Structure 1
Amino acid sequence: MKIINKPLEVRSSFYIPGILQILGFILLIIYSAFSSTHWSVVLTTTTMVMLASFSVGALVGFIFGIPRTLQEDVKKGVKANSNLEQLSDWLTKIIVGVGLVESKEVFQLVSGLAENLSQGFPDTQMGFTIILSTLIFYFFGGFFISYLWSRILLERIFQENLDTENRIVALEKTRDLQDEISELQSTYKKEKAKSIIEKSFDQTKDDKELANTFAKIVGTAYENADYSAINQWVKEYDKRIKIPAQTWSDAALANLNLYRNSLDQIYADSVEYACRRSIQALRDYGVPQMIRLYLQLINYKEATANQDQQKQDDARKSIGAVIELILKNNAITAYEAYAYMQKNDVTSFKEYNEIFKTEFKTEYQKFKDKYLEHLSKNQS
């Protein structure tokens, strides 16, 4: 069942048919009061005819107006019970078919019923007219009101129930997925991580939720030093998941670790690519800029160890370019990059922090000043 969410004046939809039904009842009271001395008998008879006709019309209107539930992905989960909908379809076809084919007989049946019910009236001819009019008027009135109720209010009730059920199912699936992620964090396995990523596509269609799940998996893989898996996943799921800036930074770090251990240029290129994607996702994000700085510090360290003056000069130039770019950006970029550098004072990247502070004092001081500038603005 699909509902277009537009503001509806539900009450106004029932005003005209409701007022007409009330007006009809008032006319019946007036007729009964002035028709004979036995007005109570006439009023009771016409009222019962009115209620009976309205009830039959309401039943037919309900049958015609029962909302249809769209069954999506019926192979998974439990689909809604559609017995009432099937019965509605069956009865609707019968009623329409009989009404079209046997319309003359239907009218004769209604006319005969009105003639029999009018026998108790002092004026049978007038009674026949009143009863027949009441039967027709309140049948269609009941049909129209019931049809409107089924199509507007009942449809909303069904939709709310379906939405509630879907939310409950989604919460249960999310809870199961979070339990699997928690288990993965305690006992990491690459195959299990991959299966959780694939399962997340079936359990949620929300882009943000998919990105958060993917970020947790990548973060867990990084903590377990499965850097090659991170490379594989960001390439495989790049077009299926809107990978956030922080996750691209994790991918850059994974390649940075691989490059530090192997000095393979392919990992250096991957670091630059992941940093570029991270900055595209979050323009002023400082962490990828610091990762790029670490990449050049690794190159500088290796060039110094190998006494390669050309590579050493190239690394110096690249480090200066990264610092210049950080300083040109908003102060938040320098703040985040510097804060990330401080966090690495207790990691294996501490040695590169020391190289930066001692070998690039001018650049380091400018970097630090920009950080302090942002810090002082926030504190004031």
Structure 2
Amino acid sequence: MRVSHGLHLTISLSALAILAGCGSAPPKAPPPPEVGAVTLGSSSVTLSTELPGRVAAVETSEVRPQVSGIIRKRLFEEGSVVQAGQVLYEIEDAPYRAALGTAQGNLATAQANIRSTQLQAERYQRLLPIKGVSQQDADNAQASAQQARATVQAQRAAVDAANVNLGFTRIRAPITGRIGRSLITVGALAQTGQADPLATIQRIDHVYVDVTEAAADLLNFKEALRAGQLTHGGPDSARVQLILPNGKTYTIEGELKFSDVTVDPSSGSVTIRATFPNPDGLLLPGMYVRARLVQGTSPQAILAPQQGITRNDHGDAVALVVDAQNKVEQRPVVTGQAVGDKWVVTSGLKPGDKLIVEGQLMLKPGEQVQPRAPQQVTVAQPASQGGN
């Protein structure tokens, strides 16, 4: 029993010594957390923007009657292409033929009267020196001759007007284009000044696309041009692409024409117009589209992966970078448009910065980290490196 008690005491003392030794050793510090970081560079980037817009016909003409009457014939097929001057409708012309005949008869009467009045005026002029007629009679004869000539001119104008009205009974296409549905039928009454047109013709072999851009964005673009941050005027500057309502890209590129000189006070936007060839008639007036406009080229743009740009409590864009001592530094940034899966950063970052794109969730400014290559972000090499 004594031997066992001594052995137990020895083991207990040894255990206490081991525990005491462990308590005196300092704990080992954990390694700094690893973060995925990319080194930023600068490259030349063509900047574009997508804006909503509507398709409009290059020319639109409403077919309206110039004289009133019953529609006798319709001479076109709805939806077809009509040529300028082509007869579209015929109005019952019997009243206008009768009016022309009346005007022609009045003209013939006036022409017959002009001969007799002229002869009488000449006769009175010969009798005047020998006191065969009074001066008053001679003057009256001369005035009658002049009035007869004026009557002839008026009747000729009446004949011309009657001819014009008779011609208006054939309603012709004012422009070449595709005609829509007819809003009047044979037998209906067409009247001058009526509210609705008979039909509408639209020229759509070329179309306009009117898009709207916020006035503030237009000002920022012009300021960037003046500051040298963008270059403009190259062959790409006039390119405009269309995104159709089904999400597909229109195969033919358009040309930027002009921007309006007035800001819409209700929306604060400016209208920009582009033209597109439309040989197949795919683009229809009124169609909603999105236009992709090339705004310019940024020669030294900084592209930052979108995973590396977050928002603080105030909603401002911020980025976490690794400084020269491998410590976390938070910077406010200003981003422009997206290029693929990256933001164009206009302020806050510079070439050579190590942007944290992975593992930044629990980091705090000033914390020591161990940067490594990211696993989920593929960093493309810039086309033209600069600004280092």
Interval of TM-score (by shorter of Structure 1 and Structure 2): under 0.3
Query: Which has the greater radius of gyration?
Result: 2
Give the structure with the higher percent helix.
Answer: 1
Give the TM-score normalised by the residue count of structure 2: 0.23
Give the TM-score normalised by the residue count of structure 1: 0.23
Higher relative contact order (Cα pairs below 8 Å, separated by 6+ residues): 2
